[in-house]
Amino acid sequence: MKDLEKYLSFIKDEEAKNTVKKIARKGIVVNKNYVPEVTEFINPHLVQLCIPVIQNNVKFEIFPSFEQSERKVFILYPEYCEKPEVNDFLCGIRIHNKSKFKKLNHRDYLGALMSLGIERKRVGDIYVYETYGDIVVHTDIADYIIYNLDKIGRNKVEGEIIKVEEVSYKEQEHVLMEIHSSSMRIDNIVKHITNSSREKASNIIKSGNVKVNFLPEDRVSIELKEGDLLSISKEGRFKIHKIKGKTRSGRIKIEIKQYI
């Protein structure tokens, strides 16, 4: 991409800027060495930021292709090469929970991987079921996980490597909550989600502890809409799922997904 530095100057978040720069450089290496490469896992916002900086240098595929998968990678390959086989770069790990008494959740599985020293950027989405969890990872760390992960907390577990297409994809587990708000302003929504005062909600936002659709947001007066994803430090992730009309008193009824 011409004028890469100029393009990067419009990206205000430094972490996002560094990720885009890193993936742009990887595209240059792929084009120079004629060898396919896989990127780290990134969120949907970063995917859109990266496409302009790689699309004129190399071909690419975005995986996983499941619509509701959030964390994705680019598989980059030279223009004159055949499309790479995704399972050469990504695979699934199915971790069977051998305990009949304690169900494992998203945090349990992720924490177990982090305790093995695996970086978050090497791990994709985690899909939790009653007796197992499916995790998308870079293929080159799969054996390490299988050989080293035999317990999560006090639960004995057993792992197996599966193909990407065998992963049981689904939307992340969540509970539904309904709030009644005087407006769709972010400070109002955060106030209800955190069960705090509007002043405290404003301080949470201004202190940089809130992201909207993966972007840091410190403005207290912006309006949220259906489909927006809200991340609040120490509280979790929430999605504005549905606006259900108004109460008799004129407050907005909002259905929110709280991801667990």
Written as one string, the DSSP assignment of 167-204 is S---PPPEEEEEEEES--BHHHHHHHHHT--HHHHHHH
Same fold, 4-84 and 174-259: no
Residue 180, strand partner residues: 253
Residue positions counted in the chain = 260
pLDDT in tens, 135-173: 999 999 999 999 999 999 999 999 999 999 999 998 888
User: Region 28-56: what's the mean pLDDT?
Assistant: 93
pLDDT in tens, 47-78: 999 999 998 889 999 998 887 789 999 999 99
C-alpha 45: how far from chain center: 10
Pairing of the two strands 132-138 and 90-97: antiparallel
- For 88-166, CATH gives 3.30.70.330
User: Region 233-237: what's the mean pLDDT?
Assistant: 92
Superfamily designation of domain 174-259: RNA-binding S4 domain (3.10.290.10)
User: Region 10-27: what's the mean pLDDT?
Assistant: 92
Q: What sections of the chain are H helices per DSSP?
A: 4-9, 14-33, 44-54, 106-115, 142-148, 186-194, 198-206
Higher-pLDDT residue of 79 and 120 is 120
pLDDT in tens, 161-205: 999 999 999 888 889 999 999 999 999 999 999 999 999 999 999
Question: Is 30 buried (19+), middle (13-18) or exposed (0-12) by CB count in 10 A?
Answer: buried
Angle 44-54/14-33 helices, nearest 10 degrees? Answer: 40
Find the angle CA(47)-CA(235)-CA(132) to the nearest 5 degrees.
Answer: 70
Per-position b or e across 226-259, b if 16+ CB within 10 A of its CB: eebbbbbeebebbbbbeeeeeeeeeebebebbbe
pLDDT for 1: 59
Find the angle CA(254)-CA(259)-CA(260) to the nearest 5 degrees.
Answer: 135
Q: What is the pTM of this model?
A: 0.85
Distance CA 219, CA 210 (A): 10
Query: What residues does each domain of the chain span?
Result: 4-84, 88-166, 174-259
32 Cβ contact partners less than 8 Å away, ≥ 6 residues apart: none
Instruction: Kindly tell me the sign of the dihedral angle through the C-alpha atoms of 200, 206, 209, 210.
Output: positive
Q: Is the pLDDT of residue 2 over 70?
A: no
pLDDT in tens, 104-121: 999 999 999 999 999 999
Fold of 4-84: Ribosomal Protein S8; Chain: A, domain 1 (3.30.1370)
pLDDT for 154: 93
Distance CA 93, CA 79 (A): 31
Distance CA 151, CA 161 (A): 17
- Omega within 30 of 0 (cis) for the link into 216: no
Q: Is the pLDDT of residue 30 over 80?
A: yes
Cβ atoms < 10 Å from Cβ of 193: 19
* SS3 call for 114: helix
